[in-house]
Amino acid sequence: MRVRVFVTLKPSVFDPQGTTVAEALHTLGFGSVDGVRQGKYFELDIAASSADEARQVATDAADKLLANPVIESYRVEVEAAGGAR
């Protein structure tokens, strides 16, 4: 099963990369983009018998390794059965 984990900096943490990207977009004419936060995206291929099991595995992985709880938060999405993206 494919599980997606999105890791982003907590709102209180300054994100210079996101700021730089936003400024660059503005110079390219994307005036309607008010703000950008940059994060990380992981795709985990997990052998599990149910979506809940896969979600738990991914959550544990995020807690333990993928996200640093001091500065990052995350969310987990299990891909719909059949591999639809």
Q: How far apart are CA 85 and CA 27, in angstroms?
A: 32
Say whether residue 12 binds other proteins (CB under 8 A). Answer: yes
**DSSP class of 47:** -
**DSSP alpha helix (H) spans, the chain:** 16-27, 51-61
First to last CA, the chain: 12
Residue 44, Cα to own-chain centre: how many angstroms?
12
Query: Which region among 29-37, 44-52, 60-68, 76-84 touches other proteins (by CB under 8 A)?
Result: 60-68
Query: Which region among 9-17, 44-52, 54-62, 75-83 touches other proteins (by CB under 8 A)?
Result: 9-17
CB of 82 to other proteins, least distance (A): 22
Chain residues in the site for other proteins (CB under 8 A): 9, 12-14, 16-17, 20-21, 23-24, 27, 65-66, 68, 70-71
